[in-house]
């Protein structure tokens, strides 16, 4: 079904730039880049999927059943995304907040052309109808100069004016309302988000992604295109991975800023590690993930491999836990995702109550934000990130958006939660405000 060719690369970083630039000719693009971040679980340093042979696009009604059928029929690599509002397909929920971005709730495609980079080797995997173009495509990619890339990713757009969907005072009032729910016992924790946006604005998506990735260099960076819809993501978080019968979830809860001073930076790590609020946030979500995984796990297989471990990224320190399970071969890969979606780190506990309260308090539909981008392999393995630290762009609507949030618990204070939002928003704001 696919033809395979491999090449040894002399300059991997340069080839990655060339490859992503070359990909811009296609309407469907998924680029996943680990930025060589050392991690226990991972298959590739970077992956590019382009040029849809088949695809599926749907709203939230019966979305997982349709995806399950599509994944089974193709029995091939498929790449795409799940929006947060697929919660309405997994539970009796609805999304009534205004949608400003107009992305479909679910989109996956079977690429004609695939590139896998690991170490200094690239492997090309082409469907048979495109195999005659493999050598030509590789030669085209390698012939692209840095000057060509730099000259063609400059923006002619006007300066972007970022606006807040809600003011700081309104944000604090909504956090107080969330705290009232917690004190009443309706929920223990919920992830509350706010949107920053620009209307009647444009960006050069590739240039914006390149600069965002340069600032953050995260392990789950994504450049996604579907026609005029773009996702430019610097996500540090994995949602869910399947390796054979093993399932891996790595929720993030707990954030601290970085410092250029080494001693102060180590102090910030220690403070985060020992912060009772941050640890309680993380442990609550770990319990939620354990419960979600148990719905498809073989008996006694759900384990916590890491609890509240600190990982450092370019912009922030994060507290991450790793929860694993085993599933029976009879369990569909899509059902493993269906029973854990949306991810606990972006909802709260109890999960359904948290999502109901989130819907009432947030002022815009989340859509792709706090959803997931990733892939299924022909064998049924998969790997999906969490869409955070991301810029969403609807080119046709001239609308740019980024959303940030944090976990609200009984120990939260509105002022500190707002400050954490600004830390998380820093890279996106810097990139957008300096883009023109």
Give catalytic residues, as residue numbers: 237, 253
Tell me the longest C-alpha to C-alpha distance in the chain: 65
Query: End-to-end alpha-carbon separation of the chain, Å?
Result: 45
Q: How far is CA 16 from CA 48, 116, 211, 230, in A?
A: 9, 11, 14, 19
- Give the Cα separation of 179 and 172 in Å (integer): 10
Backbone angles phi, psi at 51, to 5 degrees: 70, 90
In 3D, which of 47, 35, 432 has the Cα closest to residue 217?
35
Cα(53)–Cα(141) distance, integer angstroms: 21
DSSP 292-322: HHHTTBPTT--EEEEEEEEEE-SSEEEEEEE
Two tokens, residue 232: 């430019």
Q: How far is CA 256 from CA 30, 274, 416, in A?
A: 30, 12, 11
Helical H segments across 239-275, by residue range: 262-274
């Amino acid at each position: 079904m696919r033809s395979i060719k491999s090449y040894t690369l002399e300059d991997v970083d340069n080839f990655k730039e060339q490859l992503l630039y070359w990909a811009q000719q296609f309407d469907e693009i998924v680029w996943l880049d680990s930025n060589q971040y050392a991690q226990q679980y991972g298959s590739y340093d970077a992956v590019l999927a382009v040029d849809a042979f088949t695809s599926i696009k749907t709203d939230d009604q019966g979305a997982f059943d349709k995806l399950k059928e599509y994944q089974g029929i193709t029995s091939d690599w498929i790449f795409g995304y799940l929006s947060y509002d697929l919660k309405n397909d997994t539970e009796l929920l609805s999304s009534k907040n205004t949608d400003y971005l107009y992305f479909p709730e679910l989109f996956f495609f079977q690429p004609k052309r695939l590139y896998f980079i690991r170490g200094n080797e690239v492997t090309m995997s082409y469907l048979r109808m495109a195999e005659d173009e493999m050598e030509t495509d590789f030669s085209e990619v390698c012939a692209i100069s840095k000057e060509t890339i730099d000259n063609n990713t400059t923006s002619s757009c006007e300066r972007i004016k970022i606006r807040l969907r809600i003011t700081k005072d309104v944000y604090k009032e909504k956090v107080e309302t969330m705290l009232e729910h917690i004190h009443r016992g309706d929920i223990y924790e919920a992830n509350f988000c706010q949107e920053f946006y620009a209307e009647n604005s444009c960006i050069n998506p590739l240039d914006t992604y390149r600069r965002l990735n340069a600032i953050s260099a995260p392990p789950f960076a994504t450049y996604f295109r579907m026609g005029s819809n773009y996702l430019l993501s610097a996500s540090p978080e994995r949602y869910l991975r399947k390796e054979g019968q093993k399932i891996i979830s790595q929720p993030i809860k707990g954030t601290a800023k970085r410092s250029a001073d080494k001693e102060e930076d180590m102090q910030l790590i220690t403070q985060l590690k020992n912060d009772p609020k941050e640890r309680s946030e993380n442990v609550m979500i770990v319990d939620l993930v354990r419960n979600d995984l148990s719905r498809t796990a073989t008996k006694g297989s759900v384990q916590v491999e890491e609890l509240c471990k600190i990982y450092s990224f370019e912009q922030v320190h994060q507290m991450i836990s790793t929860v694993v399970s085993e599933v029976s071969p009879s369990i569909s890969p899509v059902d493993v995702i269906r029973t854990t979606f949306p991810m606990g780190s972006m909802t709260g506990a109890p999960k359904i109550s948290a999502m109901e309260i989130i819907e009432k308090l947030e002022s815009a539909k989340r859509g792709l934000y706090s959803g997931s981008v990733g892939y299924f392999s022909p064998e049924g393995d998969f790997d999906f990130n969490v869409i955070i630290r991301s810029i969403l762009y609807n080119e046709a609507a001239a609308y740019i958006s980024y959303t940030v949030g944090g976990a609200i618990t009984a120990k939260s204070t509105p002022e500190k939660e707002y400050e954490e939002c600004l830390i998380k928003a820093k890279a996106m704001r810097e990139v957008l405000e300096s883009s023109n």
